[in-house]
Amino acid sequence: MTIDMQNPSATDAADPETPSILEGQGLRTLVEAGLTWLKTNMQTVNALNVFPVPDGDTGTNMVLTMQAAYAEIANSTETNVGKMAHNVAQGALMGARGNSGVILSQLWRGFARALDNLDMMDADLFVRALAESRNTAYKGVVRPVEGTILTVAKDIAAAVEKARASTSNLVELLEQVVAAADESVKRTPDLLPILKQAGVVDSGGKGLFFILEGMLRHLKGLPLDISLGAVQPISAMQLDQATEEIEPGQDYEVVVDFHPSEPLDLQRFYADLSEIGTSIQVGEGEGMYRMHIHVPTEKRYAPIDYIMSKGTITKIAMENLLAQMEQIGKKQEQPALELAEVEPGQVAVVAVSPGDGFARIFASLGAAAIVEGGQTMNPSTEEILSAFENLPTDKIIILPNNKNIILAAKNCADISLKKVRVIPCRSVPQGINAIFRHNPNGELDELVDEMNEAITEVETGEITTATRSVDINGVKVQEGEVIALLDGQLVVSTTSLEAAVTGLLEKANTADRERITLYYGNNIDHKEVNQIADKVRVSYPSHEIEVHEGGQPYYQFIIAIE
């Protein structure tokens, strides 16, 4: 039998031994369903941050990767399932963002490889495709870590192989896959201790579960645009990103804080709100709920009226999104960066920058191309690739400047015809240290060796505000406190910004270093920056202290200790 993707109720599953067949258009529809359900639950995935920092982006990265994959096939009339799968994999590869997105693209690559140019997929091919997905993803990671999306991919491949012994029906096999993914995600904290400490499951694995569950929900005729009621902590709601992508009809943003008069039926709550607007988020904290929604102008008061029927409103915020977008556009009309001119045969440096200040610094140090990105805004493989493909040289060095961008940068090295080298710098201070060693007329591999050495000579501190209460690595954090991370590890939680900075410097090897550089973000005023810098100068009188604008979001300071 052939699964009718446009009319899933027409699928005849009465005889589990009747072979199920999936062709190209069926796969296209399933990809769309998986994307839709993942997007519906994106904020749930984003909230699964190990550290209590306001930059959860796994859900966003996976959605953008899947959007790129679906865009490649959205208007395709291809019926060959193998060709369709290869198109999905190509779109995912170019659109891959963050570690989770890159691994997701590898899963699709393996899936497509198993199907190659075959017209249709049956149960045996489904088993083989999931096995090849697992194998390809594991091979694509230098040091695979269990308790992640990789483990979930491994567990679903094992589950479908076992289930194949009792059925050849693709719908029933997909049911087993979804069940296995759910159980595997729940087990991730047992395999990765940091997850258990943080009280969360793996975010990438959860995202993969939602993709697969979305496919199954479509086949069962269940809605894909209504969340099942997952609520994130209020502090994890990323409302300041609301204007990044405004869809038609999203004229106003409405945020309402309220105390419900009786326990909320969250599924019904989401369903009712979906009749009013889009971009729905619901957060909970300290006995209060926060509702976020985007609505057209004529419905801007409808969410408020609806919430009034559910309880007592304590706060209302309403913003004109179109006006905000106009202001953002004016801010972005800044003088172009003066990037280094590159001649044929020279070595060009491409740097990823999380803020305008950092972009100017990299440009002044000789970067030939700047890619906007960092935490919460990981650039895609295609965005990095396009930054250097037209440069008049075939010698490229990429500085990802973030641990979550390294894999996407390595993707570029794999697919570009140019000689591309990736310096595995996990922070912007490491990238700045590396570019100081750059000589455009140097020998490529010698420069790479020097830059790799340079990134080991700096420690990186990050200062931000905790989004939830947690106890990690012996550090007790209360939501709203100022926290410090040293080379990616939580080391300090305190009540003031100054105490967080000084506490971080005490945890670092600052006494053995010579220079401290404070890069301030876009969420702190200059007066407070100067006060803290003066405090650092008093505490470390023999050190060279520098202060520069970084312009990064979320983090009040990124600190280089070298």
Of 200, 225, 250, the last residue of a domain is: 225
| CATH number for the domain that contains residue 485 | 3.30.1180
pTM above 0.75, yes or no: yes
Phi, psi of 280 (to 5 degrees): -80, 130
Asked if residue 23 and residue 129 are part of one domain, the reply reads yes
Do 503 and 421 share a structural domain?
Answer: no
pLDDT of 251: 80
* Sheet order of strands, 515-520 included: 489-494, 482-486, 459-465, 557-561, 515-520, 544-549
Q: What is the pLDDT of residue 247?
A: 55
- For residue 357, give the amino acid letter: G
Strand 459-465 with 470-472, pairing: unpaired
Burial label, 394 (beta-carbon count in 10 A; 0-12, 13-18, 19+): middle
**Does residue 356 share a domain with residue 240?**
no
Same domain, 42 and 182: yes
Examine residue 382 and state whether it is found in any structural domain, yes or no. Answer: yes
* Phi and psi angles of residue 282, each rounded to the nearest 5 degrees, phi first: -130, 130
18 in a structural domain: yes
* Same-domain pairing of 295 and 342: no
Q: What is the pLDDT of residue 229?
A: 57
- In this structure, the answer to whether residues 95 and 180 fall within a common structural domain is yes
Q: Round to whole Å and give the CA distance between 31 and 120.
A: 16
For the sheet with 232-233, list strands across it.
232-233, 278-285, 288-295, 252-260, 311-320
User: What is the predicted pLDDT for the residue at 238?
Assistant: 61
Q: From CA 108, how far away is CA 196, in angstroms rounded? A: 29
Domain extent at residue 216:
8-225
In this structure, are 448 and 466 located in the same domain? Answer: no
Question: Residue 55: CA atoms inside 13 Å, Cβ hemisphere, count?
Answer: 21
Question: Which pLDDT does position 317 carry in this prediction?
Answer: 87
**Which CATH number do you get for residue 309?**
3.30.70.260
pLDDT of 51 reads: 82
Q: Are residues 371 and 405 in the same domain?
A: yes
DSSP-H helix ranges across 220-299: 266-274
CATH code assigned at 434: 3.40.50.510
Q: Does residue 526 contact residue 558 with C-beta atoms inside 8 Å?
A: no
Tokens in use for 62? Answer: 């996976």
Here the CATH number for the domain that contains residue 128 is 1.25.40.340
Residue 99's pLDDT is: 92
Domain boundary among 425, 440, 457: 457
Q: Which amino acid is at 458?
A: V
Domain assignment present for residue 364? The answer is: yes
Domain count, the chain: 4
Residue 185 forms part of a structural domain:
yes
Task: Tell me if 40 is assigned to some domain.
Answer: yes
Helix then strand then coil, in percent of the chain rounded to 5, is 45, 20, 35
Evaluate whether residue 50 is within a structural domain: yes
Q: Supply the pLDDT for residue 335.
A: 64
Kindly state whether residues 442 and 467 are assigned to the same domain: no
Res 7: pLDDT: 52
Choose among 145, 176, 168, 166: nearest CA to 50. 145
With a cut of 70, list the residues of the chain below it in pLDDT: 1-19, 228-249, 323-335
Give the DSSP per-residue string, 126-148. HHHHHHHHHHHHHHT-SS--SSS
Give CA angle at 142 (137, 147), nearest 5°: 60
Which of 289, 308, 329 finishes a domain? 329
Q: Which residue has the tokens 């750059």?
A: 438
Reference 49, options 203, 260, 245, 165; nearest CA is 203
Looking at the structure, tell me whether residues 70 and 179 fall in a common domain.
yes
496 and 368 in a common domain: no
Strands 515-520 and 544-549: parallel
CA–CA distance, 370 with 409 (Å, rounded to integer): 13
In a domain, 3, yes or no: no
| Pair 465, 421 in one domain | no
- Residue by residue, what is the 3-state secondary structure of 390-449? CCCCCEEEEECCCCCCHHHHHHHHHHCCCEEEECCCCCHHHHHHHHCCCCCCCCHHHHHH
3-state secondary structure of 462: strand
3-class secondary structure for 522-548?
A: CCCCHHHHHHHHHHHHHHCCCCEEEEE
The DSSP annotation for 55-103 comes to: ---HHHHHHHHHHHHHHTTTT-----HHHHHHHHHHHHHHH-BHHHHHH
Tokens linked to 294: 């985007």
Does residue 144 lie within any of the structural domains?
A: yes
- How many CB atoms are located within 10 Å of the residue 325 CB? 15
Q: Which residues on neighbouring strands pair with residue 461, listed in sequence order?
A: 486, 559
